[in-house]
Amino acid sequence: MSEPRIAVDAMGGDHAPEEIVAGALLAAQAGYARIVLVGDEARIRPLVRGPVASAIEIVHAAEAVPMDQHASAALRAGERTSLGLAVHLVKSGEADGVVSAGNSGAFLAIALVKLRPIEGIARPAIATVWPALSGPFLLLDSGANVDCRPDWLYQFGIMGSAYARSMLHIAAPRVAILSVGEERTKGNQQALEAAKLLEAAPIDFIGNIEGKDLFHNIADVVVTDGFVGNVVLKTSEGMIADMVQVIKDAIHSGNLRAKVGAALLAPALRGLRTRFDYETYGGAPLLGLKGNCIVTHGRASRNAIRHAVRVAAEEARNDVVGKITDLIAPLMTGGS
Protein backbone atom coordinates (compact mmCIF):
# COMPACT_ATOMS: atom_id res chain seq x y z
CA MET A 1 0.00 0.00 0.00
CA SER A 2 1.01 3.65 -0.27
CA GLU A 3 2.45 5.36 2.79
CA PRO A 4 -0.05 4.77 5.62
CA ARG A 5 -1.89 7.74 7.10
CA ILE A 6 -2.00 7.51 10.90
CA ALA A 7 -4.24 9.62 13.12
CA VAL A 8 -2.65 10.53 16.46
CA ASP A 9 -4.75 11.65 19.42
CA ALA A 10 -2.57 14.65 20.28
CA MET A 11 -4.49 15.49 23.47
CA GLY A 12 -4.43 12.02 25.05
CA GLY A 13 -1.91 11.11 27.74
CA ASP A 14 -0.22 12.54 30.82
CA HIS A 15 2.23 14.59 28.76
CA ALA A 16 -0.08 15.78 25.99
CA PRO A 17 0.20 17.55 23.71
CA GLU A 18 3.95 18.26 23.95
CA GLU A 19 5.33 14.71 24.10
CA ILE A 20 2.67 13.34 21.76
CA VAL A 21 3.42 15.90 19.06
CA ALA A 22 7.18 15.44 19.51
CA GLY A 23 6.81 11.68 19.06
CA ALA A 24 4.62 12.11 15.99
CA LEU A 25 7.24 14.39 14.46
CA LEU A 26 9.95 11.77 15.12
CA ALA A 27 7.79 9.16 13.38
CA ALA A 28 7.29 11.45 10.40
CA GLN A 29 11.04 12.16 10.21
CA ALA A 30 11.71 8.41 10.23
CA GLY A 31 9.30 8.00 7.30
CA TYR A 32 6.97 5.63 9.14
CA ALA A 33 3.74 7.28 8.04
CA ARG A 34 1.89 10.42 7.09
CA ILE A 35 0.77 11.99 10.35
CA VAL A 36 -2.60 13.53 11.20
CA LEU A 37 -2.57 15.23 14.60
CA VAL A 38 -6.05 15.47 16.10
CA GLY A 39 -6.73 17.96 18.87
CA ASP A 40 -6.76 21.60 19.91
CA GLU A 41 -5.10 23.34 16.97
CA ALA A 42 -4.19 26.41 19.03
CA ARG A 43 -2.07 24.22 21.33
CA ILE A 44 -0.75 21.85 18.66
CA ARG A 45 0.27 24.27 15.91
CA PRO A 46 3.13 25.99 17.85
CA LEU A 47 4.63 22.57 18.62
CA VAL A 48 4.84 21.48 14.98
CA ARG A 49 8.33 22.58 14.01
CA GLY A 50 11.30 21.26 12.08
CA PRO A 51 11.95 19.73 8.66
CA VAL A 52 8.70 17.72 8.45
CA ALA A 53 6.39 20.41 9.83
CA SER A 54 4.88 21.21 6.44
CA ALA A 55 3.89 17.55 5.96
CA ILE A 56 1.97 17.29 9.24
CA GLU A 57 -1.80 17.64 9.00
CA ILE A 58 -3.79 18.99 11.93
CA VAL A 59 -7.49 18.22 12.42
CA HIS A 60 -9.07 20.39 15.09
CA ALA A 61 -11.06 18.86 17.93
CA ALA A 62 -12.46 21.18 20.56
CA GLU A 63 -12.27 18.80 23.52
CA ALA A 64 -10.11 16.06 25.02
CA VAL A 65 -11.18 12.93 26.91
CA PRO A 66 -9.98 13.22 30.52
CA MET A 67 -7.89 10.30 31.72
CA ASP A 68 -10.41 9.52 34.46
CA GLN A 69 -13.60 9.99 32.43
CA HIS A 70 -16.04 7.08 32.27
CA ALA A 71 -16.23 5.39 28.89
CA SER A 72 -19.94 6.14 28.53
CA ALA A 73 -19.33 9.88 28.94
CA ALA A 74 -16.56 9.74 26.34
CA LEU A 75 -18.93 7.99 23.95
CA ARG A 76 -21.55 10.69 24.40
CA ALA A 77 -19.01 13.41 23.64
CA GLY A 78 -18.41 11.70 20.30
CA GLU A 79 -16.37 13.53 17.70
CA ARG A 80 -16.06 16.70 19.75
CA THR A 81 -13.05 15.00 21.37
CA SER A 82 -9.64 14.34 19.87
CA LEU A 83 -9.95 10.62 20.62
CA GLY A 84 -13.44 10.30 19.14
CA LEU A 85 -12.51 12.21 16.00
CA ALA A 86 -9.23 10.27 15.54
CA VAL A 87 -11.15 6.97 15.62
CA HIS A 88 -13.76 8.41 13.25
CA LEU A 89 -11.01 9.14 10.71
CA VAL A 90 -10.26 5.40 10.62
CA LYS A 91 -13.94 4.53 10.29
CA SER A 92 -14.37 6.95 7.37
CA GLY A 93 -11.26 5.67 5.59
CA GLU A 94 -9.43 8.97 6.03
CA ALA A 95 -6.77 7.27 8.18
CA ASP A 96 -5.28 3.77 8.15
CA GLY A 97 -4.79 3.58 11.88
CA VAL A 98 -5.09 5.48 15.15
CA VAL A 99 -2.70 5.90 18.09
CA SER A 100 -3.66 7.19 21.53
CA ALA A 101 -1.95 7.45 24.92
CA GLY A 102 -5.22 8.64 26.40
CA ASN A 103 -7.97 7.01 28.42
CA SER A 104 -7.71 3.34 27.40
CA GLY A 105 -11.22 2.45 28.58
CA ALA A 106 -12.68 5.26 26.51
CA PHE A 107 -10.50 4.26 23.54
CA LEU A 108 -11.79 0.69 23.72
CA ALA A 109 -15.43 1.79 23.99
CA ILE A 110 -15.24 4.34 21.18
CA ALA A 111 -13.36 1.98 18.86
CA LEU A 112 -15.77 -0.88 19.62
CA VAL A 113 -18.82 1.23 18.77
CA LYS A 114 -17.41 3.09 15.77
CA LEU A 115 -15.30 0.39 14.09
CA ARG A 116 -17.21 -2.73 15.19
CA PRO A 117 -15.65 -6.17 15.77
CA ILE A 118 -14.51 -8.41 12.94
CA GLU A 119 -17.26 -10.87 12.07
CA GLY A 120 -16.99 -13.82 14.45
CA ILE A 121 -15.05 -11.94 17.15
CA ALA A 122 -16.99 -11.46 20.38
CA ARG A 123 -14.57 -9.09 22.12
CA PRO A 124 -11.42 -7.24 21.05
CA ALA A 125 -8.27 -7.89 23.07
CA ILE A 126 -5.25 -5.75 23.95
CA ALA A 127 -2.19 -7.61 22.69
CA THR A 128 1.13 -6.64 24.26
CA VAL A 129 4.47 -7.47 22.67
CA TRP A 130 7.03 -8.29 25.35
CA PRO A 131 10.79 -8.85 25.12
CA ALA A 132 12.03 -12.27 26.21
CA LEU A 133 15.37 -14.07 26.28
CA SER A 134 15.33 -15.14 22.62
CA GLY A 135 12.99 -12.60 21.06
CA PRO A 136 9.57 -11.09 21.69
CA PHE A 137 6.33 -12.86 22.56
CA LEU A 138 2.72 -11.71 22.50
CA LEU A 139 0.46 -11.59 25.58
CA LEU A 140 -3.29 -11.17 25.21
CA ASP A 141 -5.59 -10.07 26.68
CA SER A 142 -3.69 -7.39 28.60
CA GLY A 143 -6.67 -5.60 30.08
CA ALA A 144 -9.59 -5.10 27.70
CA ASN A 145 -11.75 -7.89 29.20
CA VAL A 146 -11.27 -8.68 32.88
CA ASP A 147 -13.86 -11.47 32.79
CA CYS A 148 -13.69 -13.83 29.82
CA ARG A 149 -15.55 -16.82 28.45
CA PRO A 150 -13.56 -19.81 27.13
CA ASP A 151 -14.62 -19.10 23.54
CA TRP A 152 -13.19 -15.58 23.85
CA LEU A 153 -9.80 -17.06 24.84
CA TYR A 154 -10.11 -19.32 21.81
CA GLN A 155 -10.59 -16.26 19.62
CA PHE A 156 -7.66 -14.50 21.32
CA GLY A 157 -5.43 -17.45 20.44
CA ILE A 158 -6.42 -17.30 16.78
CA MET A 159 -5.99 -13.52 16.59
CA GLY A 160 -2.67 -13.71 18.40
CA SER A 161 -1.38 -16.35 16.02
CA ALA A 162 -2.32 -14.22 13.00
CA TYR A 163 -0.66 -11.17 14.54
CA ALA A 164 2.54 -13.04 15.42
CA ARG A 165 2.86 -14.29 11.85
CA SER A 166 2.20 -10.89 10.31
CA MET A 167 4.05 -8.58 12.70
CA LEU A 168 6.61 -10.72 14.54
CA HIS A 169 7.41 -12.74 11.39
CA ILE A 170 7.10 -16.10 13.15
CA ALA A 171 6.17 -18.71 10.56
CA ALA A 172 4.32 -21.06 12.93
CA PRO A 173 3.62 -19.28 16.25
CA ARG A 174 3.29 -21.53 19.29
CA VAL A 175 0.17 -20.62 21.25
CA ALA A 176 -0.24 -21.42 24.96
CA ILE A 177 -2.61 -20.67 27.83
CA LEU A 178 -1.18 -19.08 30.97
CA SER A 179 -2.11 -21.40 33.83
CA VAL A 180 -1.06 -22.71 37.23
CA GLY A 181 0.70 -25.78 35.84
CA GLU A 182 2.02 -27.27 32.62
CA GLU A 183 -0.21 -30.34 32.77
CA ARG A 184 -3.35 -30.26 30.64
CA THR A 185 -5.42 -31.06 33.73
CA LYS A 186 -4.25 -27.92 35.57
CA GLY A 187 -6.13 -24.61 35.60
CA ASN A 188 -9.57 -23.21 36.31
CA GLN A 189 -12.66 -24.16 34.33
CA GLN A 190 -12.17 -21.25 31.95
CA ALA A 191 -8.65 -22.38 31.02
CA LEU A 192 -9.59 -26.06 30.73
CA GLU A 193 -12.50 -25.36 28.38
CA ALA A 194 -10.50 -22.85 26.32
CA ALA A 195 -7.73 -25.45 25.89
CA LYS A 196 -10.19 -27.95 24.41
CA LEU A 197 -11.32 -25.34 21.88
CA LEU A 198 -7.78 -24.26 20.99
CA GLU A 199 -6.71 -27.87 20.41
CA ALA A 200 -9.11 -27.96 17.45
CA ALA A 201 -8.08 -24.55 16.06
CA PRO A 202 -5.87 -24.21 12.94
CA ILE A 203 -2.93 -22.99 15.03
CA ASP A 204 0.03 -24.57 16.83
CA PHE A 205 -1.48 -24.90 20.29
CA ILE A 206 1.07 -26.31 22.76
CA GLY A 207 -1.03 -26.35 25.94
CA ASN A 208 -0.32 -24.62 29.26
CA ILE A 209 2.63 -22.59 30.41
CA GLU A 210 3.35 -21.21 33.87
CA GLY A 211 4.29 -17.68 34.84
CA LYS A 212 7.94 -18.66 35.24
CA ASP A 213 8.04 -19.63 31.56
CA LEU A 214 6.78 -16.34 30.12
CA PHE A 215 10.19 -14.88 29.29
CA HIS A 216 11.82 -18.14 28.19
CA ASN A 217 10.24 -18.20 24.71
CA ILE A 218 8.46 -21.49 25.32
CA ALA A 219 5.46 -19.94 23.56
CA ASP A 220 5.17 -17.11 21.03
CA VAL A 221 1.57 -16.23 21.93
CA VAL A 222 0.30 -16.44 25.50
CA VAL A 223 -3.46 -16.31 26.08
CA THR A 224 -5.17 -15.26 29.29
CA ASP A 225 -8.05 -13.12 30.49
CA GLY A 226 -7.60 -9.37 30.82
CA PHE A 227 -7.50 -9.42 34.63
CA VAL A 228 -4.55 -11.80 34.83
CA GLY A 229 -2.93 -10.32 31.74
CA ASN A 230 -2.98 -6.79 33.12
CA VAL A 231 -1.54 -7.93 36.46
CA VAL A 232 1.26 -9.76 34.62
CA LEU A 233 1.90 -6.72 32.43
CA LYS A 234 2.19 -4.23 35.28
CA THR A 235 4.14 -6.60 37.52
CA SER A 236 6.68 -7.17 34.75
CA GLU A 237 7.00 -3.46 33.98
CA GLY A 238 7.56 -2.68 37.64
CA MET A 239 10.09 -5.48 38.06
CA ILE A 240 12.16 -4.37 35.06
CA ALA A 241 12.13 -0.74 36.22
CA ASP A 242 13.15 -1.78 39.73
CA MET A 243 15.99 -3.96 38.45
CA VAL A 244 17.39 -1.02 36.50
CA GLN A 245 17.19 1.13 39.63
CA VAL A 246 18.88 -1.53 41.77
CA ILE A 247 21.78 -1.68 39.32
CA LYS A 248 22.10 2.11 39.33
CA ASP A 249 22.04 2.25 43.12
CA ALA A 250 24.69 -0.47 43.40
CA ILE A 251 26.97 1.42 41.02
CA HIS A 252 26.53 4.81 42.68
CA SER A 253 27.05 3.42 46.18
CA GLY A 254 30.05 1.28 45.23
CA ASN A 255 33.75 2.02 45.53
CA LEU A 256 36.03 3.27 42.79
CA ARG A 257 36.59 -0.24 41.44
CA ALA A 258 32.82 -0.76 41.07
CA LYS A 259 32.44 2.55 39.25
CA VAL A 260 35.31 1.78 36.87
CA GLY A 261 33.80 -1.63 36.18
CA ALA A 262 30.42 -0.02 35.54
CA ALA A 263 31.98 2.40 33.08
CA LEU A 264 33.47 -0.53 31.16
CA LEU A 265 30.12 -2.32 31.16
CA ALA A 266 28.11 0.78 30.21
CA PRO A 267 27.67 -0.08 26.49
CA ALA A 268 26.43 -3.59 27.34
CA LEU A 269 24.10 -2.25 30.03
CA ARG A 270 22.65 0.31 27.61
CA GLY A 271 22.05 -2.44 25.07
CA LEU A 272 20.34 -4.56 27.73
CA ARG A 273 18.11 -1.66 28.75
CA THR A 274 17.13 -1.02 25.13
CA ARG A 275 16.37 -4.70 24.58
CA PHE A 276 13.98 -4.83 27.53
CA ASP A 277 12.47 -1.36 27.11
CA TYR A 278 8.77 -1.78 26.30
CA GLU A 279 8.78 1.58 24.50
CA THR A 280 10.84 0.15 21.64
CA TYR A 281 8.00 -2.27 20.88
CA GLY A 282 5.50 0.56 20.44
CA GLY A 283 1.99 0.50 21.81
CA ALA A 284 -0.33 -2.46 22.21
CA PRO A 285 -2.63 -3.29 19.30
CA LEU A 286 -6.34 -3.62 20.01
CA LEU A 287 -7.03 -6.78 18.03
CA GLY A 288 -10.40 -7.91 16.71
CA LEU A 289 -11.73 -4.61 15.37
CA LYS A 290 -12.26 -3.47 11.78
CA GLY A 291 -9.46 -0.94 12.06
CA ASN A 292 -5.91 -0.59 13.30
CA CYS A 293 -5.91 0.79 16.85
CA ILE A 294 -2.78 1.18 18.99
CA VAL A 295 -3.05 1.79 22.74
CA THR A 296 -0.01 3.16 24.52
CA HIS A 297 0.80 4.20 28.08
CA GLY A 298 -0.74 7.33 29.53
CA ARG A 299 2.77 8.33 30.56
CA ALA A 300 4.15 7.63 27.07
CA SER A 301 7.26 9.54 26.08
CA ARG A 302 7.98 10.84 22.59
CA ASN A 303 9.98 7.69 21.91
CA ALA A 304 6.99 5.51 22.81
CA ILE A 305 4.72 7.54 20.53
CA ARG A 306 7.25 7.31 17.70
CA HIS A 307 7.25 3.52 17.92
CA ALA A 308 3.48 3.32 18.39
CA VAL A 309 3.06 5.14 15.06
CA ARG A 310 5.53 2.70 13.50
CA VAL A 311 3.49 -0.27 14.73
CA ALA A 312 0.23 1.26 13.47
CA ALA A 313 1.76 1.82 10.05
CA GLU A 314 3.18 -1.73 9.92
CA GLU A 315 -0.22 -3.15 10.84
CA ALA A 316 -1.77 -1.26 7.96
CA ARG A 317 0.93 -2.35 5.50
CA ASN A 318 0.66 -6.00 6.58
CA ASP A 319 -3.17 -5.94 6.54
CA VAL A 320 -3.41 -7.47 10.01
CA VAL A 321 -7.17 -6.88 10.12
CA GLY A 322 -7.60 -8.73 6.82
CA LYS A 323 -5.45 -11.65 7.96
CA ILE A 324 -7.39 -12.06 11.20
CA THR A 325 -10.63 -11.85 9.23
CA ASP A 326 -9.46 -14.54 6.78
CA LEU A 327 -8.44 -16.88 9.60
CA ILE A 328 -11.51 -16.40 11.77
CA ALA A 329 -14.19 -16.40 9.03
CA PRO A 330 -14.31 -20.17 8.36
CA LEU A 331 -14.35 -20.97 12.08
CA MET A 332 -16.92 -18.65 13.55
CA THR A 333 -20.65 -18.40 13.10
CA GLY A 334 -21.37 -15.47 15.39
CA GLY A 335 -19.01 -15.59 18.35
CA SER A 336 -21.20 -13.60 20.76
Residue 147: which CATH number? 3.40.718.10
Residues 136 and 264 grouped into a single domain: yes
Q: Do 77 and 65 contact (CB within 8 A), yes or no?
A: yes
Residues 223 and 313 grouped into a single domain: no
Residue 133's domain comprises: 122-282
List pLDDT tens digits, range 234-243: 787 777 667 7
What is the arrangement of strands in the sheet containing 137-140, beginning at the earlier edge strand?
Answer: 57-60, 34-39, 5-9, 97-100, 293-295, 284-287, 125-130, 137-140, 221-223, 174-178, 204-209
- Mean pLDDT over the full length of the chain: 89
Which residue pairs, CB below 8 angstroms and at least 24 apart, start in 250-253? none
Does the pLDDT at position 181 exceed 50?
A: yes
Residues 117 and 127 grouped into a single domain: no
Length reported for the chain: 336
List pLDDT tens digits, range 22-48: 999 999 999 999 999 999 999 999 999
> How many domains does one find in the chain?
2
Residues 87 and 168 grouped into a single domain: no
Last residue of a domain, one of 236, 266, 282: 282
Residues 233 and 95 grouped into a single domain: no
Residues 296 and 253 grouped into a single domain: no
Does the pLDDT at position 251 exceed 80?
A: no
Cα-based distances in Å from 50 to 22, 25, 28, 55 = 10, 8, 11, 10
Does the pLDDT at position 301 exceed 80?
A: yes
pLDDT of residue 274: 59
How much helix, strand and coil, in percent to the nearest 5, is found in the chain? Answer: 50, 15, 35
Read off the pLDDT of each residue in 84-100 and give the average, rounded to a whole number: 97
User: Rounded distance, CA 333 to CA 142, Å?
Assistant: 25
pLDDT of residue 163: 94
List pLDDT tens digits, range 123-165: 999 999 988 888 889 999 999 998 999 999 999 999 999 999 9
For the chain, what percent of residues have pLDDT higher than 90? 68
